[in-house]
Amino acid sequence: MKILVPCKRVPNPDLKLKVANGSVDLAGTTWQVNPFDEYAVEAALRLTEKGKGGERVGEVVVVSIGPKDTSAQLKQLLAMGANRAILIAGDDGALDADRVARILGTLVVAEKPDLVLMGKQAVDGDDNQVGQILAASLGWPQATFLASILLAADGKSATVTREVDAGVEERRVHLPAVMTVDLRIVGKKAVRNEALAPATAEWEDTQRLASLKGIMAAKKKELREITAESLGVAGGILVKTLRHEAPPARKAGVKVASVEELVAKLHNEAKVI
Amino acid sequence: MSGTATLVLLETTTSNLRSASLPAISAARKLAQVNGGPVVGVVIGSGIAAAAQDAARYVDKVLCCDNAALAAALAETWAPVLVAAIKKIDAAALVASATSAGKDILPRTAGLMGAGMASEIVAVIGAKAFRRPTYAGNALTDVEVLTPVVVATVRQTEFPPAAPAASAGTVEALPPGPIDALGSEFVALHASKSARPDLTEAKVVVSGGRGLKDAQNFKVLEELTDLLGGALGASRAACDAGMVPNDLQVGQTGKVVAPELYFAVGISGAIQHLAGMKSSKVIVAINKDPEAPIFQVADYGLCATWESTVPPLIAQIKTVKAAG
Ligand SMILES: Cc1cc2nc3c(=O)[nH]c(=O)nc-3n(C[C@H](O)[C@H](O)[C@H](O)COP(=O)(O)OP(=O)(O)OC[C@H]3O[C@@H](n4cnc5c(N)ncnc54)[C@H](O)[C@@H]3O)c2cc1C
Ligand SMILES: Nc1ncnc2c1ncn2[C@@H]1O[C@H](COP(=O)(O)O)[C@@H](O)[C@H]1O
């Protein structure tokens, strides 16, 4: 099983976002792997494992389109356990979901993975588009917003559950496919490869951290840097960002001292009960 | 070049238009004002003739693609139908509500067409320009789609549910063309049943967080919820801990809600949670930690434990209601 995991670096979502003069100022931010992509890497690792901490069979390739220092995030993913990494030079300002998908598409044609596993959305742009566009451009099936993946023993199909508005939807998908993951994909028993891991297999309830051993091993792993041009991707973006603005601030509220005061305010002032 | 029609994907049961699609119709009408053409709905499914008639009350025309092989909303089969619909009416735009189906199917349609897409728009600025939240709602971003056909999903809380039009539109059959699910197959929907209103449509939402500690304790929140005729919500932490089903999660990756009244009980107010409820009209926070960030967005903050406040709150509201 060879799994390609596209990963984006995003600004730390817990830092206060500076929005001024029509743009977002990221000069002072720290960068990290998009959380959903980190979950996708964890899921990919589990699909190549016999169990928690067990032997691994198969290959997990992480790929990012980003500036040169995205190599720091890719190294972290190698330290988590990914086998190799590809960094495609690109600047966020010259990218949109369609272009990212087209670049990834040419890489998929070259790498021929059995599965593309990725986050459902990047938490900076919040687009939630790349996986679906990639699947469309490859003519592959797609399974989005996944909470669990059970890969069949023959490696040809998977039974998945998806988080949808009305609850949880179950689907069967043929491989190769594009799958995008939601938060619960890192649950203890959310992901398993029937060919490798027994039904009793269980992992941590979250994504793994890079171990010291992993960090040492990562130093010897391949991190290839290429350009979109070398992949022969033409064309530009389809969606242009015009400007950013800070959302209107909510006007400061009040602290109430008691339940009685709260109910009085909700009844007489806000008139909502 | 493309024409002037605005196409809107309308989700249905076999008999009815789903209310989740009403905000998309409002957005489509706004877009039609700048595009200058009609609003055309497209319904897809199996045995949906009655639903197509129901949907026609809201738009100038409904394209109905009715086929047994289209019963499940698979992006693999539905996206090509949407492409066919766009071509048939020479549409300038395709919109849909940002439901789980809309978010799954529209980007695939955009990908098939090579069309640019704007996700979860909150405002129509022009024929090709839209406003949308980014960075978990910490920025509002204006984008311009550069392709002849524009694709967009619509954030349901930011457009009012559409009312029926003065006169109903016509219904026209749309042939599906070749249907190929690429091996994808719908197996089952494990729906969480609830007699309460939909989270995204409720006038009151009562949400609980990790501070509730366990599933049992949600009973008291349910009592408050039902007293107010509202919907129950939760933070990610509460869902992950198994206190409530996952589809109650409010936030950047859960449901986006904007009720008249939102209660956040035992919720700290992480930005990912705020992203899903910041547009609520009135926010009440109950939290024992005076420093909890939820107080920064709350109109009314009560710094206390839920144990000591929610039961008397219920009693007090009953008294007020009884007094009229
Ligand atoms: C990619 C990503 C996506 C995410 N998406 C979402 C999302 O969509 N929605 C979401 O909610 N979160 C989301 N999160 C998680 C988010 O970052 C927070 O971890 C989560 O919202 C915290 O939930 P909480 O407020 O219930 O728990 P905590 O942060 O642990 O807060 C519990 C609160 O309860 C209070 N409390 C404790 N005991 C009592 C008591 N007896 N009475 C009153 N108050 C009490 C505490 O003071 C505390 O403030 C996401 C995170 C990531 C990384
Ligand atoms: N620059 C990028 N490099 C690699 N993968 C990306 C990039 N941008 C987006 N992706 C992938 O596409 C997913 C969805 O992103 P988006 O559609 O931008 O919200 C992310 O979770 C990543 O897996």
Query: Are B15 and B146 in the same domain?
Result: yes
Q: Is the CB of B240 under 6 A from ligand 1?
A: no
Domain boundary, last residue among B173, B196, B213: B173
Residue A132 contacts B where some CB pair is shorter than 8 Å: yes
In a domain, B29, yes or no: yes
Diameter of chain B measured on Cα atoms: 64
Query: Are B82 and B15 in the same domain?
Result: yes
Domain boundary, last residue among B132, B157, B173: B173
Give the pLDDT confidence score for residue A54 in this predicted structure: 84
Domain of B110, CATH number, reads: 3.40.50.620
Domain A2-269 has CATH 3.10.20.70: no
Q: Is the CB of B211 under 6 A from ligand 1?
A: yes
Domain range list for chain A = 2-269
Residue A101 contacts B where some CB pair is shorter than 8 Å: yes
Tokens of residue A84, six digits: 């190799």
In a domain, B193, yes or no: no
Kindly report the number of other CB atoms within 10 A of residue A67's CB atom.
14
Domain count, chain B: 2
> For chain A, what is the radius of gyration of the CA atoms?
21
pLDDT in tens, B20-29: 999 999 999 9
pLDDT in tens, A9-23: 999 999 999 999 999
DSSP bridge partners of B206: B232, B263
In a domain, B182, yes or no: no
Nearest to B166, CA basis, from B35, B92, B238, B58 = B58
Pocket probe mutation, ligand 1, options A32, A118, A181, A183, max atoms within 8 Å of Cβ: A183
Domain of B241, CATH number, reads: 3.40.50.1220
In a domain, B191, yes or no: no
> Computed from CA positions of residues B255, B260, B265, B267, in that sequence, does the dihedral angle turn out positive or negative?
positive
Query: Are B221 and B289 in the same domain?
Result: yes
Query: Are B168 and B269 in the same domain?
Result: no
Query: Are B149 and B220 in the same domain?
Result: no
In a domain, B187, yes or no: no
Give the pLDDT confidence score for residue B1 in this predicted structure: 53
Give the pLDDT confidence score for residue A92 in this predicted structure: 85
Query: Are B218 and B122 in the same domain?
Result: no
Residue A22's identity, in one-letter code, is: G
Query: Are B168 and B263 in the same domain?
Result: no
Give the whole-angstrom CA distance, residue B198 versus residue B291. Answer: 32
Distance A259 CA to ligand 1 centre (A): 23
Domain boundary, last residue among B150, B173, B196: B173
Q: Which alpha helices (DSSP H) does B163-300 contain, by range?
A: 218-227, 236-240, 271-274
Å between B316 CA and nearest CA of chain A: 7
In a domain, B186, yes or no: no
Reported as a pLDDT band with limits 50, 70 and 90, residue A235 is confident
Tokens of residue B14, six digits: 């076999």
Reported as a pLDDT band with limits 50, 70 and 90, residue A138 is very high
pLDDT in tens, A144-188: 999 999 999 999 999 999 999 999 999 999 999 999 999 999 999
Q: What is the extent of the structural domain holding B306? A: 204-323
In a domain, B17, yes or no: yes
Nearest to A129, CA basis, from A93, A160, A102 = A102
Residue B309 C-alpha from the chain's centroid: 32
Residues of chain B found within 8 Å of residue A120, distances taken between Cβ atoms:
253
Q: What is the ipTM of this complex?
A: 0.97
Query: Are B244 and B124 in the same domain?
Result: no
In a domain, B188, yes or no: no
Say which ligand is closest to the CA of A105.
Answer: 2
